[in-house]
Amino acid sequence: DADVTQTPRNRITKTGKRIMLECSQTKGHDRMYWYRQDPGLGLRLIYYSFDVKDINKGEISDGYSVSRQAQAKFSLSLESAIPNQTALYFCATSDSTGRGTEAFFGQGTRLTVV
Amino acid sequence: AQSVTQLGSHVSVSEGALVLLRCNYSSSVPPYLFWYVQYPNQGLQLLLKYTTGATLVKGINGFEAEFKKSETSFHLTKPSAHMSDAAEYFCAVRPYSSASKIIFGSGTRLSIRP
């Protein structure tokens, strides 16, 4: 089983609909992140959470919200989806206890807004 | 603010040739540095990382990178390219601060010519 699991893997939704992307992890990490990937733009940080009570906006948080339901669960919501939110979304986790620890990624959710 | 610049959105080399993917960062203090690889329809996988100590870091699949503080660079190399190396490669940084997040470059797509 994957250490970082994203659901769904693919989703097509209509403009104006609310949609939630879910992420769960079994790595025991305290930090979780949501990124979106667009061709030529790399990965851009949407939101990140350093623990259950610590949520922070990233560089492109407008139009998105998140919820850290537990240490292992971090969900991303699009309150009213628009076509330019069509992208590949990644959840990632990292551990704050080690030095220079890297992020571990889920397989991604491909979201299409029509 | 931290930033990461990857020179060349697309690099093409012949099988057996040297691979060189460039990454420069901006930071007043050397950060932790990472290279990730993304194969088609997959998430990101860590290739290698620099934390402290030896500036030449070896990773998986024959890749290595050298941290050069004076040049604020962390270029990725592989002596002999293989067809299976075709993928997208991302450089990333994370400052030493405990409250730091991971910032990614825009990515470089590596193509291998037979």
pLDDT band at A1 (very low <50, low <70, confident <90, very high): low
Q: Which of A41, A56, A108 sits opposite B43 (nearest CB)?
A: A108
pLDDT at A99: 62
Written as six digits, the tokens of B48 are 């290698």
Q: Which residues from A are below 8 Å from B91, CB to CB?
A: none
CB contact under 8 A, A102 and B98: no
Residue B113, pLDDT > 80, answer: yes
Instruction: Give the pLDDT confidence of A41-91 residue by residue, as tens digits.
Output: 889 999 999 999 999 999 899 999 999 999 999 999 999 999 999 999 999
CA trace torsion A56, A109, B102, B55 (10° rounding)? 170
Tell me which chain B residue has its CA closest to the CA of residue A47: B101
Distance CA A109, CA A10 (A): 5
pLDDT in tens, B4-32: 999 999 999 999 999 999 999 987 677 88
Higher pLDDT: B99 or B113? It is: B113
- Which of A42, A99, A102 is facing B106, going by the closest CB pair? A42
Q: Would you report the helix, strand and coil content of chain A in percent, each value rounded to 5? A: 5, 55, 40
- Nearest-by-CA chain A residue for B99: A50
How many cross-chain Cβ pairs, A to B, lie less than 8 Å apart?
59
A56 interaction partners in chain B (CB closer than 8 Å): 101
**Minimum CA–CA partner of A58 in chain B:** B101
Q: Report the C-alpha gap between A37 and B17 in whole angstroms.
A: 29
- Distance from the Cα of A96 to chain B's closest Cα (Å) equals 7
Tell me which residue in B43, B94, B105 faces A105 most closely, judged by beta carbons: B43
Residue type at position B63: F
